[in-house]
Amino acid sequence: MDNVEEIRQIIERFTRQRQEHIPKDLDAYFRYVAKTGDTVFNWSSLKYLFRKKLLHVINHFDVNSPRVDEIPHYPNVDPFNYGSLKLSLLEYLDWFKAAPFTVQRLCELLIDPHKHYSRIDKYMRALEKNLLVISTTEPATSRTENQHLFSNASIDVDMMNQRFDEVLLPPIKMAKLDDDLRTTGRLPKSVICYALQEEVEAVEKVDITDKQFGEQATGDSNTLKADYF
């Protein structure tokens, strides 16, 4: 993105003035994120913009969608309730302290809602699927800085981040998460165990034949388990 500072100022003004109409430059910003997956800016400065974009797209889709009473019911699926699901989507969005790692797909849905969906219920459930996640992502500049800070770490940070990026919530309501996830921002222990179990098992199975490093390897394995469990 060549005009980063200009877009930053537009976003700040849009948020500060609580504007309702999204400028064309910000529509172009959503297309950029949909293409690259890079939010460029911190999530705290983008929350209001994403909230307004989500509401605008949903409301416009609803007006041009079949009536709710024409939407068929399916077994084992809760009946579609437009108002309730819209409030849930906004709640999920507000919960994030950083951009959801599905932000690229989320922007794809926001810039072209009718590309794959012609019914409001299916479209909103697609949005819900992309917001029912707990992993987050930072702007590309922040990720680069973090990689530099941990470049000398003994743990394979890239591998660990990849495992965490694969953690998805099952199709449950966010309110069912452990209370400490909401209050402290920490992952429940069960989720941490899921994400790290394979790494710990891999360390335990390493076969060290050099006696000089055998004791050190065992110590590293025990330390890793103690730190995360």
Average pLDDT of the residues in 147-164:
44
- Out of 77-86, 94-103, 109-118, 204-213, pick the least confident: 204-213
| Predicted TM-score (pTM) of this structure | 0.62
What residues make up the domain containing 159? 154-228
Average pLDDT in the 43-67 region?
90
For the residues 4-9, what does the mean pLDDT come to?
A: 96
**Average pLDDT for 37-54:** 96
- Whether the pLDDT of residue 29 is over 50: the answer is yes
Q: What percent of the chain has pLDDT over 70?
A: 59
Q: Decide: helix, strand or coil at residue 147.
A: helix
DSSP string, 36-50: H----S-GGGTHHHH
Q: In sequence order, what E strands does the chain have?
A: 99-100, 136-137
Residue 144 lies in a domain: no
**CA geometry: angle 198, 203, 207, nearest 5 deg:** 130
pLDDT at 112 over 80: yes
Instruction: Quote the pLDDT of residue 73.
Output: 75
Residue 148 inside a domain? The answer is no
In a domain, residue 142? The reply is: no
Q: 3-state class of 156 per DSSP?
A: coil
Coil/strand/helix, residue 201: helix
Nearest-angstrom CA–CA distance, 93 and 177: 15
Tally of domains within the chain: 2
Q: What is the structure's pLDDT at 63?
A: 82
Residues 6+ apart with CB under 8 A from 78: none
Burial of 100 (0-12, 13-18, 19+ CB in 10 A): buried
| One-letter amino acid of 60 | H
- 112 and 210 share one domain: no
What is the predicted pLDDT for the residue at 215? 46
Task: Identify whether residues 128 and 53 lie together within a single domain.
Answer: yes
- How far apart CA 131 and CA 123 sit, in angstroms, is 13
- Domain for residue 143, yes or no? no
Region of 18 please: left (phi>0), alpha (psi -120 to 50) or beta: left
Q: Is position 147 within any domain? A: no
| pLDDT value of position 209 | 40
Domain stop point among 106, 137, 168: 137
Residue 138 predicted with pLDDT over 70: yes
Question: Looking at the structure, do residues 125 and 173 belong to the same domain, yes or no?
Answer: no
pLDDT class of 69 with cuts at 50, 70, 90: low
